[in-house]
Chains A and B, each alone.
Chain A
Amino acid sequence: MRQLARTVVGALITILTSSFIVFAALSASPGNAATILAGNRATAKTIKEIAHRYGLDRPFLTRYMHWLSGAVHGNFGISLQYRVSVASLLKPRIGSTFMLITMAGIIILVLGVGSAIVATRFSRLNMPVTISSGLFIAVPTFVAALILVELFALQVNWFPVLGASSGSISDRLWHLTLPAFALALSWAAFVAQVSRASLRGEANREHVQTARGRGLTESQVFRRHVLRNGAIPIVTVFGLTVAGLVAGSVVVEQAFGIDGIGSFLVQSVAAKDTNCVMAIALILVVCFVVVTALADMIYWLLDPRVRSGLSR
């Protein structure tokens, strides 16, 4: 219980600190918000009026508290670019990003952990898995995106070129297949390498030999003794992976023209729409912290040594 409380408090502190850093860094950025809102031909007086109307002339800490309390209620102010509330811009976009990341996560689990299991069970497949994961880990997300488009959308017309779709769920999944694979590829290779190392290390341990000696079948030994113990580092790495996926989704969305919050972040940065940038940055930070905390907790559930405080 104490462990749980410590994780939650730590996560909250990280979110608070990073929200402050995000706000401090971006509210001081060039292209003052009031100047952008006032438009090109604004006089100094109108800029001042607008700054006053949106509370931009108040002291820094007051503005931060105001922004943070708004953010907690899902109110991130108005977009400097579109003059509507940031929340109304983000809401329709979050769905696509969430679907993309979930699909990529599933692909990584299946391909990454799956290939590691196969490589450990069948030693003949060890070499091919090692080589292909070493190769795929070197392929950046945007490169994977272009190569997949060239191969599967242009050479053979299996998948659509662009990921934009507003149709039914199955149609959206169909459009998201290539992007999800592009996003998943190098991370799946990374997870495969870590899992393989962990499973192989576990497979050579004495308790596994004992289990075999007790006459358990090979699949029982693998499931109960190798996989269960070997899963602990995999979970830790998977938490890191999901955090990386959130960042990688920015690139994939841009590459496939998916209208998610990642491509919207790039668009907002280019347009100097600081309110949108701060909102998306905060959302992403919260995602990372929650994912990392969850991975911590699963780790804690899986490893009885950590639970009873024997190690650490």
Chain B
Amino acid sequence: MSLVEELVLERPTFVQRVRRGDPLIYVLSGILILIVLCALFAPFLAPYPPNQGNILAANLGPSSAHWLGTDQLGRDILSRLLFGARLSLLGPSLIIVFATTFALALAVSSVWIGGWFDQAVARLLDTLFAFPGLLLAILAVAMIGPGLLAPVIALTLAYTPYIARVVRTVVLRERHLAYVESCQVVGLSGWQICFRHLIPNVSPIVLAQATIAFGSALVDLAAISYLGLGVQPPQAEWGLMVSDGQSALLNGSPWESLSACVMIIVVVLTVNVLGERIALRNEGAA
């Protein structure tokens, strides 16, 4: 065991491998971290409490008192945008953490065990893949009731095959590389090889796929809230804010809807490009 570690070349750390000297990755991660910090410190950053409204000051445009104006109940849009980041990011994060874990477990075990198990998993993933996550989420709401729980469970189910398919092909390629065999010759158990060598080696690709999936999950979840089936008022969430501000938009004050739209686009765009960049950087080196 110790012999192996001494002989093996030094492995770059996870963070080193993910970046591989791409400046865009630094910039995009910076934007994401900034948004997450805004969400975490919303109570300190927001100029007003998110649910405090003055009905006499409704649908105002941007001013020095309200940087992004007020919504139809006179609540400060900037404050609601900051607080809304919490639920808007929490939901997709949960989905992606669970889906990635399941996907990795399914992909690695099916490749490792092979045979009928591999076939069964592949068939299961193909069947699940056929159904759009949004529809699955709506049906889950019909079953469990409105809120975040039902869509999060449904979208976890929907995104597992989405991630697993890509991970499976990468793991399959990795499985037949010489180092896996040499680990076996040295006498490492399957668990040790998978957890210490195989999974760390495929992790950048997994991260890339999970990052891109995060964007889609955010869109699906916001759409559910937009339809009135997810996060319920008066809580702040971006999808809900888009639908909340729709009547104001039709009456000439588009600030609430448009600012929430911009936040969604910014996050999805950042995450998409970041995921693609990470994947590109690690294509040959998985």
Q: Which residues of A contact B (CB under 8 A)?
A: 14, 17-18, 22, 25-26, 28-30, 134-135, 137-143, 146-147, 149-150, 154, 161, 243-244, 246-248, 250-251, 254-255, 265-266, 268-270, 272, 274, 277, 281, 284-285, 288-289, 292
Contact = CB atoms under 8 A, between A and B. Distances in A.
B265 A138 contact: yes
Interface string B145-167: 11000000000000000000000
Given A25-B139, A143-B242, A274-B142, A288 B228 contact: no
A243 B130 contact: yes
A250 B143 contact: no
Nearest to A285: B131
Contact of B250 (A17, A134, A137, A161): A161
Interface in B174-222: 215, 219, 222
Most chain A CB inside 10 Å of its own CB: which residue of B146, B226, B246, B254: B226
B227 interface: yes
B264 A143 contact: yes
Among A26, A248, A269, the one with the most B-chain Cβ atoms within 10 Å of its Cβ is A269
B130 A141 contact: no
A142 B185 CA distance: 55
Nearest to A146: B257
B252 interface: yes
Nearest to B218: A140
Contacts of A285: 131
B155 to A, nearest CB: 12
A243 B142 contact: no
Nearest to A289: B130
Interface of A is mostly: helix
Instruction: List 4 tightest A-B contacts by C-beta distance, closest first.
Output: A247-B132, A138-B269, A138-B268, A140-B219
B16 to A, nearest CB: 27
B265 A26 contact: no
B132 A243 contact: yes
Interface of B: 127, 130-135, 138-139, 141-146, 215, 219, 222-223, 226-229, 239, 242-243, 246, 249-250, 252, 254, 257-258, 261, 264-265, 268-269, 272-273
A238 to B, nearest CB: 15
Q: Tell me what chain B mostly uses at the interface: helix, strand, loop, or mixed.
A: helix
A154 B227 CA distance: 22
A168 to B, nearest CB: 25
22 contacts: A25-B139, A26-B142, A28-B143, A29-B143, A134-B273, A138-B215, A140-B223, A140-B264, A140-B265, A141-B223, A150-B254, A154-B250, A154-B254, A250-B135, A255-B246, A265-B138, A269-B138, A269-B142, A272-B142, A277-B139, A288-B130, A292-B130
Contact of A266 (B144, B229, B273): B229
Contacts of B243: 142
A111 B272 CA distance: 21
Nearest to A144: B261
A246 B133 CA distance: 12
Contacts of B141: 269
A26 B135 contact: no
Contacts of A272: 142
A247 B134 contact: yes
A102 to B, nearest CB: 18
B138 A266 contact: yes
B38 to A, nearest CB: 19
Contacts of A269: 138, 141-142, 229
Contacts of A26: 139, 142-143
Contacts of A29: 142-144
B92 to A, nearest CB: 12
Nearest to A28: B143
A146 B242 contact: yes
Contact of B249 (A138, A150, A243, A289): A150
A14 B130 contact: yes
A135 B269 contact: yes
A224 to B, nearest CB: 31
A161 B250 CA distance: 8
Contact of A247 (B135, B228, B242, B272): B135
A274 B145 CA distance: 12
A243 B272 CA distance: 22
A143 B272 CA distance: 17
Given A138-B265, A146-B249, A243-B130, A22 B227 contact: no
Nearest to A186: B219
Given A138-B215, A146-B246, A277-B142, 7 more contacts: A14-B130, A135-B269, A140-B222, A140-B264, A247-B135, A269-B229, A272-B142
